């Protein structure tokens, strides 16, 4: 809070007010680096994960196009990655999408078969933001290193929930978001390993070592660093609590609601994520029914919820459109209580039963 008004300096300024901001900026950079086991000078602050993804894919592709113009992503990447892939293709690059198995896992041999001599970058998310499946990040990093290919991961869904170590996992570029660890909105991070180079995509005064111009958002940066510090200290305890909530949701929903199924990997999934599908009902109707009860749930990614198209992630796992449309995403977090779980489990069976009674599709099935 003090950096909104009391310490209002610009770190690019040379006077003492600017010095205070510079000190806060660099201390925050050090804290973010500790969060992922990186060096402080490998941390670049951005306006959010979308910009970080853009700098990683576009910036790396443009900087390294003489080495090759082929990039590999998975079929279940965040929508921002898919849209960046479209931009790259429109600008002379080739993008290959790797299919996933029924649980949303990218298999290493499928990546390996798609590597070419001109492949310069592999981008696979650390964990899927919808169905919660965690990828074999370390093995992908090892494969990329063996082939001399840069490895980028969008780690937004996993940060604060999984122990992320960029050294151990062989990650060369990684996107993070402030608000996904309860920090301020409007701030992200791109980790860039020292020997890797990207072109800036925002040109201006040369801040952030010339990689991201524009005056740094010091209040948000301090806020994200503080959030990262809290998450680093409390993650083990919190993750254990989340996992208990998740497992209870999965067990009781599947046992109490007929024709219900779990989406995503049964064990290798985020501790906060329970993702279901229900025959004969639509996710939007479930969401609105929960909304009437004062409970916030989702049918998929918040970044794609304004479209009526089924989730590209669920379709990629082999579901047909009708199955994908009947999905419900439940996520628990820092402020979730036992009473919240009780309430969800109390109202969910009745919601599904009521919607099925109105569904001609389900009646025909029965």
Q: What's the domain count of the chain?
A: 2
Are 85 and 218 contained in the same domain? yes
Q: What is the pTM of this model?
A: 0.94
Catalytic residue chosen out of the listed positions 288, 302, 303, 361:
303
Residue 307 banded pLDDT, cuts 50, 70, 90: low
Q: How far apart are CA 104 and CA 180, in angstroms?
A: 21
| Residue 299 pLDDT > 80 | yes
Are 153 and 77 contained in the same domain? yes
Q: How far apart are CA 18 and CA 116, in angstroms?
A: 48
**Residue 318 φ/ψ region, left for φ over 0, alpha for ψ in the -120 to 50 degree band, beta for the rest:** left
Per the prediction, the chain carries an average pLDDT of 94
| Residue 274 pLDDT > 70 | yes
| Residue 354 pLDDT > 70 | yes
Are 219 and 355 contained in the same domain? no
| Residue 338 pLDDT > 70 | yes
What burial letters (b/e) apply to 349-359, b meaning 16+ CB within 10 Å?
eebbeebbeeb
Per-residue pLDDT tens digits for 34-83: 999 999 999 999 999 999 999 999 999 999 999 999 999 999 999 999 99
Residue 300 banded pLDDT, cuts 50, 70, 90: low
Are 27 and 128 contained in the same domain? yes
Within 10 angstroms of residue 334's Cβ, the number of other Cβ atoms is: 14
CA distances from 274 to 155, 216, 320, 327 (A): 19, 37, 20, 11
% of the chain at pLDDT higher than 90: 86
User: What is the DSSP code (8-state) at residue 7?
Assistant: T
- The residue range of the domain holding 106 is 2-230
Are 194 and 259 contained in the same domain? no
Q: How far apart are CA 295 and CA 358, in angstroms?
A: 22
Helix/strand/coil (H/E/C) assignment for every residue in 338-351 = HHHHHHHHHHHHHH
CATH number, domain of 42, equals: 3.40.640.10
- The C-alpha angle 4, 5, 10, rounded to 5 degrees, equals 75
> In sequence order, what are the beta bridge partners of 159?
162
Domain termination residue (choose one: 194, 212, 230): 230
Q: How far apart are CA 223 and CA 124, in angstroms?
A: 28
Within 10 angstroms of residue 347's Cβ, the number of other Cβ atoms is: 16
Are 222 and 245 contained in the same domain? no
Interval 162-178 mean pLDDT: 98
Are 170 and 25 contained in the same domain? yes
Instruction: Verify whether residue 303 is a known catalytic residue.
Output: yes
- Residue 16: per-residue pLDDT: 83
Domain termination residue (choose one: 200, 230, 260): 230
Are 178 and 313 contained in the same domain? no
- Residue 302: per-residue pLDDT: 47
Interval 321-346 mean pLDDT: 95
Q: CB-based contacts of 101: which residues, under 8 Å, 6+ apart?
A: 107, 317
- Residue 91: per-residue pLDDT: 98
- Residue 286: per-residue pLDDT: 95
Are 166 and 33 contained in the same domain? yes
Domain termination residue (choose one: 230, 261, 277): 230
Q: How far apart are CA 320 and CA 165, in angstroms?
A: 36
Are 177 and 259 contained in the same domain? no
Write out the H or E segment, with its range, that includes residue 151: strand 150-154
CB 104 within 8 A of CB 313: yes
CATH number, domain of 245, equals: 3.90.1150.10
Per-residue pLDDT tens digits for 189-238: 999 999 999 999 999 999 999 999 999 999 999 999 999 999 999 999 99
Are 259 and 244 contained in the same domain? yes
Are 101 and 241 contained in the same domain? no
Per-residue pLDDT tens digits for 99-134: 999 999 999 999 999 999 999 999 999 999 999 999
- Residue 12: per-residue pLDDT: 77
């Amino acid at each position: 809070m003090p950096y909104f008004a009391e310490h209002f300096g610009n770190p690019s300024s040379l006077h003492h007010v600017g010095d205070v901001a510079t000190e806060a900026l660099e201390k925050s950079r050090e804290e973010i680096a500790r969060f992922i086991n990186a060096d402080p000078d490998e941390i670049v602050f951005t306006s959010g994960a979308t910009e970080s993804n853009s700098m990683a894919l576009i910036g790396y592709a443009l900087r390294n196009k003489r080495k090759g113009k082929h990039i590999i992503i998975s079929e279940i990447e965040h929508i921002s990655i898919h849209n960046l892939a479209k931009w790259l293709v429109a600008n002379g690059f080739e993008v290959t999408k790797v299919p996933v198995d029924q649980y949303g896992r990218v298999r290493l041999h499928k990546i390996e078969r798609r590597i070419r001599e001109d492949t310069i970058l592999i981008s696979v998310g650390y964990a899927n933001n919808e169905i919660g499946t965690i990828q074999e990040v370390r093995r992908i990093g090892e494969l990329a290193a063996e082939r001399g290919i840069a490895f980028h991961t969008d780690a937004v869904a996993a940060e604060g929930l999984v122990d992320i170590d960029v050294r151990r996992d062989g990650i060369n570029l990684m996107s993070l978001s402030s608000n996904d660890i309860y920090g301020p909105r409007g701030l992200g991070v791109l980790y860039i390993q020292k020997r890797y180079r990207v072109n800036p995509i925002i040109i201006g005064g040369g801040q952030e070592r010339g990689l991201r111009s524009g005056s740094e958002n010091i209040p948000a940066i301090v806020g994200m660093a503080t959030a990262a510090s809290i998450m680093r200290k409390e993650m083990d305890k919190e993750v254990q609590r989340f996992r208990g909530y998740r497992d209870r949701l999965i067990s009781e929903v599947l046992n109490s609601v007929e024709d219900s199924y779990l989406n995503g990997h049964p064990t290798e999934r985020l501790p906060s994520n329970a993702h279901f599908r229900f025959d004969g009902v639509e996710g939007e109707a479930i969401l609105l029914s929960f909304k009437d009860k004062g409970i916030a749930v989702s049918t998929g990614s918040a970044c794609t919820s304004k479209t009526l198209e089924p989730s590209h992630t669920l379709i990629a796992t082999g579901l047909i459109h009708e199955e994908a449309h009947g999905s419900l995403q439940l996520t628990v977090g820092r402020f979730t209580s036992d009473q919240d779980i009780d309430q969800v489990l109390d109202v969910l069976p009745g919601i599904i039963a009521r919607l099925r009674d109105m569904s001609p599709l389900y009646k025909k099935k029965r």
